[in-house]
Each structure stands twice: as C-alpha cells, then as structure tokens.
Structure 1
C-alpha cells in the first residue's frame, strides 16, 4: 500500500470512528460523543476558574464588574436547570485581551478588553450568551472526549506501524496528525462555535436583549482583528462574515423570542 493511500485510510478510519461512536445529542440535534460525566466537568470548571482568578487581576465591585454582572444576571436564568441550577459566579479580569469564557459549574469570565469591542449591553449579551452556549452544549466535554479518542487512535496506529516495521513511520504519523487537525479537529471546533452562536442568540433574545446586536458585534470584531484573521479552513473559528450570515439566517425566531418578552434590561457602564 502506498504511503498517501495508507494515510488517507487511517485518517478516514479514525474520523469515522469519531462519528459512529456518537451517543448523545447537542441542543441543535447534532450527534455528540462524551466520555466525561457532568459532575466531573463541573469540578474541572471550578478548579480551572479558581486557578485563573489566582493568576489574573480581577476587578470586584468595580463599575465594569457591576455592568457585566447585570448583563449576565439576565442571561443565566435562561440556562436549563439540568445544565446548572446554582448561582453563577461572574468575574471581570483586568486584561486588554478581547475575550470572555464560561465554564461548567456556573463560571463566567470577561476581560476588560472585550468592553472596547462589545460596546453596548446587547453586544455584550451576545458574547456572554455565546460563551454560556458552549457550556449548555457541553462542548468542553466533547472536545476533551474527542482528544482522548484521537490520542488513543494515534497510539494504536503508531504501534501497528512499529510492529509491521513500516518504513518512514515517523513521517506517516506526522502526516496523520496534520490530517486529523485539518480534517477533523478544526471543523469540529468551527461547528462548536457556530452552535454556540445560535444558542447564544436564543438566550439573549429570551433575556430581552436585541438579537440584532449580535451582527453588529461581529462587525466590530472584524474591524478589531484588522484583517489578520487566519483562513477559515485553517481556523478553529468561522470567519466573521460567515458568522454574520449564519446569525442573520437564524434571526427571525430570535426576534420572535425578543418581541414576546416584556423584559428589557437596563445595564449601563
């Protein structure tokens, strides 16, 4: 068997194994494969959050913290109770990076740099909704599980190559790794980002934030990137233009949720 043919078949087998072993459904109906229990993920989320707080400067009781907590307080009640039923901890980090995150176990972190790009409460709600969407869809569990499975598959393949004394086994394993990253892991991550966008759109609309602000947010993100975003094919995130198109395509049901709620948050910085 030629080297390219062997690589292609190995990548296909590992990719197929990821697909056929799916045993759960995401909120959008996508098949998922998850090794870890919810309690495990919650504990890992709490430990990770505590570690981040120890290593980073926080802004408790600041106007930024009060503002971010105000937005989050409207988003988190929309989270299904089976995902997290306790009180969410929301922390603002004094850091210029344009970023935010949410972790299993009811943890939300927002960096001050994000507030320069998400310039309104509705835009901030789009970000927080997106990050909480990752938690709702258990993307962290899914990524850890797929990574475990891929590592196992790579180890098995390496052992087979060594046992069969296949020539250039190191080169073959390297090519398989690249194939998995481009062919499986990157699209997998882009799928997660798109799914979180749509879940977040629903969350923010039900919370009374204008979902149309999500489009403006990503227009701002594109400007902030200065055109330096990597090619979508080689990126873990969809291109801003792709995200905007997908958000617009799903805007009608979000607007229906928004128009049907009487809640209109008044969070100011």
Structure 2
C-alpha cells in the first residue's frame, strides 16, 4: 500500500502537479495538525504513523486518503466549492477518519477474500482495485458503509478540534449542490442523506 502512495505522489510531482498551491498547502497542514491531534487522542497508535498532507492540481482528484495517514486534496475541488477553513476542516476530518478507521486495510482484506479462489497475489488485487469494475461493484456496499462512518467520525474529530457545526453542515450542503465531484458518486451515500446526517450530528454537539 505504501508503494501505491509513493507511485502516486512521484507521478504527480514529475508532472508538476504536486503541492503547487503553497497557500492551500499551508491551510491544509495547519488544519490537519489540529485534526491529527484529536485522531491520536482517539487512537494513540496513530501517533506513530507518518502523516502527510499534499495538494494536487490534477482535476480528477477531490480528496483521497491512503493507509498510514497519507492524504491528497485536489486544489481544483477546493476552488470549485470555494471552501472556507471550517468547510476545509470538515473535508480533511472525513479523510482523517478514514485513516483512523483503517478503511484502506479493510478494503484490501475484503478484496483479498473476494479473490481467494483462485489465489491472487496482493499486488494484482491492488491493481484491480483501481481498474476492475466488477470488483469495485462487489465492494460498493462496504465502500458506502465506510463513507458513512467517515462522515460521522470526521464530524466528531472536527468538533473536538474546535470547528463550528455550521461549517460542517455548510460543507455537506455545498457537496450536495455539486454535480461533478467524485464525492457524490455511487460509492457514497446519497448527498441528501449525508446532509441530513450532518444536521443530525450537530444536534448531538449541543449537549
């Protein structure tokens, strides 16, 4: 899994598409420091992970995370939604939540089980996760559950880091209004449900 991350970032850097927006990178790293601190409170072993946050101008990237604390955010996506710091914190918290819940490892484990007959090498399964539509469909239920968990856990992390509940709801409202984002694809719960979830979560923060 580390190799996938290295290949991705090296490829983006070679194409001149990694960390060009220094102002956005500074915002992301400042905000993520607060969120990672809260993540470590929830999961102490996360302190040993090599957390990294990068930006890319690749228009195909919204926001993605990889195992061990590797997060990549698309600058075009941030500009498209005109995200404030509070909304950006909600986006980052969602990705940090994926890492804390170790969703990447869970997905790889499930993919390995789906391919156990006949036995398929790990590197082949990793490649198929990006290119095999049938495998992606079989994993779609798990993916949707993971996204719901990351939405909720992410809001908890953002709240604990001191970000306003209104900003969290605003992020999901903007996401629901966006028709081009991968974050509103079939792998995710319906945007109306996510917005409703966000509003419901804010009620818990009032107690």
Distance 1:204 1:253, change over 3 A: same
Distance 1:65 1:197, change over 3 A: same
Distance 1:210 1:95, change over 3 A: same
Q: State yes or no: 1:105 paired with 2:56.
A: no
Q: Secondary structure at the match of 2:44?
A: coil
TM-score (norm 1): 0.61
Q: More helix by proportion, 1 or 2? A: 2
Is contact 1:130–1:196 with CA below 8 Å preserved after alignment? yes
- Taking the aligned partners of 1:255 and 1:107, their CA distance within structure 2 comes to 32
Is contact 2:56–2:73 with CA below 8 Å preserved after alignment? yes
**Structure with the greater alpha carbon radius of gyration:** 1
Superposed, which structure 2 residues align to 1:75-224 within 5 Å? 75-79=35-39, 80-86=43-49, 88-97=51-60, 99-116=62-79, 117=81, 119-152=83-116, 155=118, 185-224=139-178
Cα deviation digits, residues 142-195 of structure 1 (max 9, x gap): 111111111225x49xxxxxxxxxxxxxxxxxxxx97x876x522211100000
Count residues in correspondence.
185
Distance 1:49 1:84, change over 3 A: farther
Instruction: Note the residue ranges of structure 1 that are not aligned, 5 or more in a row.
Output: 1-43, 157-176, 257-269
Is contact 2:20–2:57 with CA below 8 Å preserved after alignment? no
Match of 1:41 in 2: none
Q: Secondary structure at the match of 1:212?
A: helix
RMSD (CA atoms) = 2.7
- Taking the aligned partners of 2:181 and 2:54, their CA distance within structure 1 comes to 30
Is contact 1:93–1:110 with CA below 8 Å preserved after alignment? yes
TM-score (norm 2): 0.77
Cα deviation digits, residues 65-91 of structure 1 (max 9, x gap): 111111111111111221343552211
Match of 1:247 in 2: 198
